[in-house]
Amino acid sequence: MSTSEATTLDELVDTDRYPLADLDGAGGRSVLSQARKGLLAEGCTVLPDFIRPSLQRTLQQECADIAPRAHYDVATVNVYNMAVGPDLPEDHPGRTAFERGNAFVARDRIPGGSLISRLYSDETFQRFIARCFDLDELHELEDRLSGLVLNVVEPGMEHPWHFDTNEFTVSMLTQEAEEGGVFEYCPNIRSAQEENFDGVRDVLQGRGDARTRRLLLRPGDLQLFKGRFSLHRVSPVRGRLARHSAIFAYSERPGVVGSVSRTRQLFGRVLPQHLQAEGRAVRGDRLLD
């Protein structure tokens, strides 16, 4: 298939293997239980070939076509996205600086008819994701820039170690790097109660191999991940090809809009909705970023 026009969810997703509309049947229950097991134990699960092989080339091409719309701004960051003042202890892992060289295509620059847009907004898909994460409800972000993004990591760049602000993330690789560009993560290295700065410091200083997992992802695989407690990164990309991944952001509460400062950092601009929502943000825990 070369075009995504008029493609139903059944044509897009391998629903023989992943019966999204029949989650209470034997096949659906088995897929859910497998996904929940991975999320519980490791904070991560991968559903290989979620997109049917006949559409994987379209998926790759559609995203490669929009990748030049990414906002580039190599920023110096740390794991916690925190300001580093003179009071911060010398050995605090927040003092380790990285270059965040990945770039995001914002949702308002992703065509509504593309495969990733249609999957993001599909209610059957959303119900499936909610069940995997054991959530009663799940909502698209109200944020018209960050709800759905394409993450572009060009050769020579990396998406360095970090924690996510969101409790859970849904993503899909759409183009592999020739070399490098591996998703690496340290399951549950921190909790809502304990930052574990010693463990985090070990990873940042290259002593975290024993606790680091590396995922082999192919275009069209769906990844569910809990990134609030698991330190993770995309390792430096080598070779000629950029690594592309679609990130589907949802929240448990309706109406979520990103902060002005973070939005400007990621996309180089804000919309009136970000200015209006400023100051109304609610956080569920007191962890650094």
Ligand X SMILES: O=C(O)CCC(=O)C(=O)O
Rule CB under 6 A: which residues touch ligand X? 151, 159, 164, 171, 183, 232, 234, 245, 247
Asked if residue 120 lies in contact with residue 147, where contact means CB atoms within 8 angstroms, the answer is yes
Q: How far is the CB of 170 from ligand X (least distance, A)?
A: 11
155's CB contacts (< 8 A; 6+ apart) are 177, 237, 238, 239, 240, 241, 242
Q: How far is the CB of 245 from ligand X (least distance, A)?
A: 4
Q: How far is the CB of 173 from ligand X (least distance, A)?
A: 7
The DSSP bridge partners found for residue 271 are none
The residue whose Cβ lies closest to ligand X is 245
201 binds, among Fe ion, ligand X, none (CB under 5 to 8 A by kind): none
Nearer to ligand X, 132 or 148 (CB): 148
Q: How far is the CB of 23 from ligand X (least distance, A)?
A: 26
**Is the CA virtual torsion 89, 99, 214, 81 positive or negative?**
positive
Given 158, 164, 176, 221, the residue binding Fe ion (CB under 5 A):
164
Nearer to ligand X, 159 or 226 (CB): 159
User: What string marks each residue from 192 to 231 as x (binds Fe ion by CB under 5 A) or -?
Assistant: -----------------------------------x----
The residue whose Cβ lies closest to Fe ion is 164
Number of neighbouring beta carbons within 10 Å of residue 227 = 19
How far is the CA of 43 from the CAs of 191, 197, 283, in angstroms? Answer: 12, 19, 20
Q: Which of 101, 145, 133, 87 is nearest to 262 (CA)?
A: 145
